[in-house]
Structure 1
């Protein structure tokens, strides 16, 4: 297939694009390039995996012409974590909601039959210990989560015989990728364990999180593309493994077990993250049988620890290079982006 992948130079995109190419697909990327300094390890050749024909276009500016001629749009681009999403909530809604809907409409107008939307389990917000399936009501408690809820609803209304959207609600991602994210729970816990010897436990340690390796997220897109669209037309799926829901306290202990010498440090300060959700991934197993996630969190922790140690990672570099909020604040401070996250000068 001819595929347009937005956000192809991001955390998931940098893993997904090589898989798509290996599967024989023809890929064009669309990305602003904001996070091109987030390569891991920080060497130029780490970006080569995502070197495909690239449209340097903000997703807010996508038109019909950008979508013409493709068999599917894989929409990954977003302001993707809560600290970044909270930086300027109106921009979060513009990018994650309004721009996503405009992109879907442009794709439909251009005759693109498949639209794969990167959504999130974070839209469930502060849940309970009960299992959540795709029919449960949303309870987002951040601009990021709410923007994804709104986008799903509007894009779903565009579905018809010629346009099939699907909503892939990722569990919380972790794992090594060519374009690393340090703000993700497991990635962050392991980085602190390796660089400081401490694993910070704060907030509600009994909160649940569903977790999935970034490579398994990427495989979910290939699985959907290899499945007839009648099977998933206008449906939503939790992308993960039902047996990979973990309490945060258990994750902290797991990291300590896997990183020699690491100890738990307790943080009694204020903690505003009230999210807790335990999701069932049975539906994607039934309806998209080509999707078979293979990673466990324990394996991912070992992978991350080994990668960080091999690069002799330092905490200051980790936070400066791999925390998305730090990167955006630097681009605003140096005049590259304005407060609407629009180019104020030519991008580096």
Structure 2
């Protein structure tokens, strides 16, 4: 529904900024609520209004909802490192669960009854089958995954009690960058395979560590499903329309799995440089294969990945990182 007014929390972050760009380009008014701890002011396109605040700040939330009448909330602001969540589970519960439900409460009070949550495939833990569809057992094996599941359950209750319609998008592996090169991925610390491999090839990061070579996969390394960040943004726009029919939950991935070795080969093929790497032990809790079934999303919304090929995903990421070796270069965030 173009021409609306939307609140995007965490909209200066990786996936959030690509959604903000898509909203602005189609003519929507966008207000971004971001404390810039992980986000970047330079990731926001002209036309998006930034409110620099923490969603834990109840007064800031009240002021934002008092200042604009929003058609929907897109919620990206969250902690998202699995390993960190196992060391600091209470922090993840406090920031991800409490803050998300406080945001939902503020939306309900303001009469904004459409809510899109950036959720995660970590809800499924070690899946019993692949590809993973929405009927798969929800059994997170990390505090991060469990925090997102608790938010989804809270949104279920908010629907029944207050009519808050929510769409929860369970991402697999977001990857790539805006095809026009305007924005891309810039995390610190970086934990995603593709930017780490590209950084190793460019010499801006240390050699890549491949965790485990003895998995029950064709080449012994983990297999993952990568979905282009621009396609993810498109999925958010499409589920917004789906909320007219009620709350919904969708898995979002390309439907194709690639091994760590295959990703390294793709980076070398696209970049024309070797990826320095070495092999390490398995990481605890890493499933051998995680591949999504996005069939329900395709059937209900007409969504399909337009940039689904691994080389195309890597090509956009390579263009961004080679042109921005220091990322957004706004670390002072002043």
Q: Same fold (TM over 0.5)?
A: yes
* Selected match of 2:52 from 32, 51, 56: 56
Hey, which bits of structure 1, 4+ residues long, moved more than 6 A? none
Q: CA deviation at 1:267?
A: 1.9
Structure-1 residue corresponding to 2:228: 213
Structure-1 residue corresponding to 2:30: 27
Q: CA deviation at 1:54?
A: 2.5
Q: CA deviation at 1:93?
A: 1.2
Aligned equivalents of 2:251, 2:279: Cα separation in 1: 31
Structure-2 residue corresponding to 1:302: 315
Where structure 1 has 5 or more consecutive residues not aligned to the other structure, the ranges are 40-45, 332-346
Contact 2:155 2:164 in 1 (8 A): no
**Structure 1 pair 191/27, CA: closer, same or farther in 2 (3 Å)?**
same
Structure-2 residue corresponding to 1:18: 21
* 2:131 counterpart SS class: strand
Aligned equivalents of 1:310, 1:47: Cα separation in 2: 15
Structure-1 residue corresponding to 2:243: 229
Aligned equivalents of 1:264, 1:110: Cα separation in 2: 52
* 1:256 counterpart SS class: helix
Aligned equivalents of 2:18, 2:271: Cα separation in 1: 25
1:128-143 → structure 2 map (5 Å cutoff)? 128=128, 130-143=130-143
Q: Deviation digits for residues 124-169 of structure 1, max 9, x if unmatched?
A: 1222553211111122222211111111111111114832111011
Contact 2:184 2:320 in 1 (8 A): no
* 1:157 counterpart SS class: helix
Aligned equivalents of 2:192, 2:329: Cα separation in 1: 14
Aligned residue pair count: 310
Structure-2 residue corresponding to 1:192: 200
TM-score, normalisation: structure 1: 0.79
Structure-1 residue corresponding to 2:284: 272
Aligned equivalents of 2:210, 2:111: Cα separation in 1: 49
Structure-2 residue corresponding to 1:340: none
1:30-45 → structure 2 map (5 Å cutoff)? 30-35=33-38
**Structure 1 pair 228/235, CA: closer, same or farther in 2 (3 Å)?**
closer
Aligned equivalents of 1:85, 1:11: Cα separation in 2: 19
Contact 2:208 2:275 in 1 (8 A): yes
Structure-2 residue corresponding to 1:2: 5
1:1-348 → structure 2 map (5 Å cutoff)? 1-35=4-38, 46-49=42-45, 52-62=48-58, 63-68=61-66, 69-86=69-86, 88-128=88-128, 130-160=130-160, 162-176=163-177, 177-178=183-184, 180-181=186-187, 182-195=190-203, 199-203=208-212, 204=215, 205-225=220-240, 227-231=241-245, 233-242=246-255, 244-263=256-275, 265-269=277-281, 271-275=283-287, 276-289=289-302, 291-295=303-307, 296-311=309-324, 313=325, 348=334
* 1:12 counterpart SS class: helix
Where structure 2 has 5 or more consecutive residues not aligned to the other structure, the ranges are 178-182
Aligned equivalents of 2:250, 2:48: Cα separation in 1: 28
Q: CA deviation at 1:210?
A: 1.9
TM-score, normalisation: structure 2: 0.82
Aligned equivalents of 2:50, 2:247: Cα separation in 1: 28
Q: CA deviation at 1:22?
A: 1.6
Q: Please, what is the CA RMSD of the aligned residues?
A: 2.8
Contact 1:8 1:17 in 2 (8 A): yes
My pick for the range that moved more, 118-127 or 203-212, is 203-212
Q: Deviation digits for residues 183-221 of structure 1, max 9, x if unmatched?
A: 222222222223279553222444332211111111111
**Structure 1 pair 179/245, CA: closer, same or farther in 2 (3 Å)?**
closer
Contact 1:30 1:54 in 2 (8 A): yes
**Structure 1 pair 256/91, CA: closer, same or farther in 2 (3 Å)?**
same
My pick for the range that moved more, 175-184 or 233-242, is 175-184
